[in-house]
Amino acid sequence: MKKSVRIKPQYRKMMKIMSIIILLMLLAGCSVASSPDEQLSDLNGKIYFDSNRNGNYEIYSMNADGSNIINITNTPEYDEMMPAVSPDGNTVVFMRAEHYDFASNELWAADADGGNARQLTDNSSADGHADFAPDSKHIVYVS
């Protein structure tokens, strides 16, 4: 007679997270970008990154040569991190949390210049680590 094995709840959650990470790694391997620089920049050569240089995390864009650094989120009451630019270069998706409350992460998107910011997720889970599908129409993320 077979003996059933019970998996502890904390291990179930860990297994779920590991499955998601493996899926994301597989999807990342299917990227259409041919170099890391293409994954960080849009079609206009802009690079998007997060920094806490002003006391809280914000999303910035800059030219590929490091010039013209612009804070595109500029929200001192929130922290924004981990930007991903769509392959068509029109949209940036990122995590937003109340200042230093990273358990409240939700996904937001904005136009490449920071305008038209909109919330994509709203739930009790921390959402983040987003990236775009090659068609720029779908987003994959961890929740």
What element of type H or E holds 139? Answer: strand 139-142
How long a stretch of residues is the chain? 143
Please state the three-class secondary structure of 54-109 as a single string: CCCCEEEEEECCCCCCEECCCCCCEEEEEEEECCCCCEEEEEEEECCCHHHCEEEE
3-state secondary structure of 7: coil
Give the per-residue pLDDT at 35: 36
pLDDT averaged over 10-residue windows placed end to end, the chain, 143 residues: 56 64 55 40 76 91 91 92 91 87 84 94 86 88 85
Give the per-residue pLDDT at 46: 87
Direct distance between the N- and C-terminal alpha carbons of the chain, in angstroms, rounded to an integer: 39
Give the per-residue pLDDT at 128: 84
- Measured between alpha carbons, how far is 115 from 2 in angstroms, rounded to an integer? 60
- Measured between alpha carbons, how far is 11 from 17 in angstroms, rounded to an integer? 10
> What single letter denotes the amino acid at residue 1?
M
